[in-house]
């Protein structure tokens, strides 16, 4: 039997046909997770809630309200120096989740967004969403993973106020202020209340350490001094009374 000779053109067409056939077969089984542009890194405030947005699509699109595939969903939390921990999973109608962790929508919508309630600083980390899709015969027909980084910010906790030194006329004293918790790190501001109101600035004021150095003090510098610890999500304050004495 003699086969017809293949010209370069027919060989190229055969390669293209095989390639397109393979690509088509692959795309039928393809699925993809999506995260809105710019929302793969989120910030939220401790005590509040946040939604980590994600949804998936199938190459063989049908009504998303009645998906033909069976999704196996897992959300993990990954933190530096720790083993990844599962915070939510869903498969065949069975939902397992940590307290304060829920899905925002029904799984039938293909929206797998995660809601975290009553946030704590320890909820910060990288959240990894993994979806496997199975057909009616139990065959895996797609898998996709996306990650969202979450940073939980903490308003400054109430600071403590104190002063160093003995407040006699002509001496020096240092007022100190420190908040035990703040993320990002708190900045500090000191002011003296009425009737002799005054706002202080450097070099007497150290906005990072929270100290205020008062030199060669006089009785006119007596009064209530208020320290405000502040970051971009909140503030807290404390005060100390300075009573400058005239004799030793």
Q: What pLDDT is stored for residue 219 in this prediction?
A: 94
* % of the chain with per-residue pLDDT over 90: 77
Measured CA to CA in angstroms, residue 246 lies from 204, 206, 213 at distances of 23, 28, 19
Mean pLDDT for 220-229 is: 96
CA–CA dist 101, 106 (Å, integer): 14
Task: Please say whether the beta carbons of 56 and 66 come within 8 A.
Answer: no
The number of CA neighbours under 13 Å toward the Cβ of 31 is 26
Q: Is 18 helix (H, G, I), strand (E, B) or coil?
A: helix
Which residue would you say has higher pLDDT here, 208 or 196?
208
Please state which CATH class domain 29-153 belongs to.
mainly beta
Q: What pLDDT is stored for residue 116 in this prediction?
A: 98
Which residue would you say has higher pLDDT here, 150 or 5?
150
**Under the phi-then-psi rule, with left for phi > 0, alpha for psi from -120 to 50, and beta for the rest, what region is 19?**
alpha
Q: What pLDDT is stored for residue 61 in this prediction?
A: 58
- Which helix or strand (DSSP H or E) is residue 44 part of? strand 41-45
CA–CA dist 122, 47 (Å, integer): 12
Tokens of 117: 């309630």
Cite the residue boundaries of each domain of the chain with CATH code 2.60.40.10: 29-153, 160-242
Task: Please say whether the beta carbons of 179 and 155 come within 8 A.
Answer: no
Domain covering 160-242 assigned CATH 3.40.50.12780 in the classification: no
Tell me the whole-structure pTM to 2 decimals: 0.78
Q: What pLDDT is stored for residue 118 in this prediction?
A: 97
CA–CA dist 40, 146 (Å, integer): 9
Segment 81-130, tens digit of pLDDT: 999 999 999 999 899 999 999 999 999 999 999 999 999 999 999 999 99
């Amino acid at each position: 039997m003699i086969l017809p000779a293949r010209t370069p053109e027919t060989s190229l067409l055969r390669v293209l046909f095989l390639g397109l056939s393979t690509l088509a077969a692959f795309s039928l089984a393809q699925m993809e997770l999506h995260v809105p542009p710019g929302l793969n890194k989120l910030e939220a405030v401790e005590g509040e809630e946040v939604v980590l947005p994600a949804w998936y699509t199938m190459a063989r699109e049908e009504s998303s309200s009645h998906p033909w595939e069976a999704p196996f969903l897992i959300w993990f939390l990954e933190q530096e120096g720790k083993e990844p921990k599962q915070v939510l999973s869903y498969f065949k109608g069975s939902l397992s989740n940590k307290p304060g962790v829920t899905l925002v929508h029904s799984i039938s919508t293909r929206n797998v967004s995660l809601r975290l309630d009553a946030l704590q600083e320890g909820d910060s980390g990288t959240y990894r969403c993994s979806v496997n899709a199975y057909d009616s015969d139990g065959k895996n027909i797609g898998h996709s993973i996306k990650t969202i980084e979450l940073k939980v910010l903490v308003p400054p906790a109430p600071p403590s106020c104190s002063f160093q030194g003995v407040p006699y006329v002509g001496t020096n004293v240092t007022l100190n202020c420190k908040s035990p918790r703040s993320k990002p790190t708190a900045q500090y501001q000191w002011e003296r209340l009425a009737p002799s109101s005054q706002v202080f600035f450097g070099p007497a004021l150290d906005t990072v350490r929270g100290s205020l150095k008062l030199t060669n003090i006089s009785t006119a510098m007596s009064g209530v001094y208020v320290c405000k610890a502040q970051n971009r999500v909140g503030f807290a304050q404390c005060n100390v009374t300075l009573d400058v004495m005239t004799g030793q």
